[in-house]
Amino acid sequence: MSEEMLKILLSELKMIRVRCLGNRDGSPCGAVIEFPVAKLKGFFSSDPKCPSCKEPFVLGIAGGVVDPFDQLARTLDAFAGIRTQAEIEFIIPNKGN
């Protein structure tokens, strides 16, 4: 049995969509924020949070908090730096078949 897959190269990622899972007034927020991958670094400034419900988008770790968006931006930059040595591809299985 063969399985169809969607393959996306890292270089093909152009937009990021963040859907908030926080709560606003007792209901799920569900706000959607979209922005270009190129704007990822610093998009949320120094206080990453949902603009609608103010849910913080940070990881609490020993010694402070981590901005996962900044970490993702740095990781994407690092992979872009080796694009002549390696090509990163995301595989998404098609579960519809």
Asked if residue 93 is part of any domain, the answer here is no
Which domain range does residue 14 map to? 5-85
How many domains is the chain partitioned into structurally? 1
Q: Is the pLDDT of residue 2 over 80?
A: no
Mean pLDDT for the chain overall: 87
Asked if residue 30 is part of any domain, the answer here is yes
Q: Is the pLDDT of residue 93 over 60?
A: yes
User: What pLDDT does residue 1 have?
Assistant: 52
Q: In this predicted model, which residue has the larger pLDDT, 83 or 32?
A: 32
Asked if residue 97 is part of any domain, the answer here is no
Asked if residue 96 is part of any domain, the answer here is no
Q: What is the 3-state secondary structure (H, E, C) of the chain?
A: CCCCEEEEEHHHCCEEEEECCCEECCEECCCEEEEEHHHCCCCCCCCCECCCCCCECCEEECCEEECHHHHHHHHHHHHHCCCCCCCCEEEEECCCC
Asked if residue 79 is part of any domain, the answer here is yes
pTM score of the predicted model? 0.74
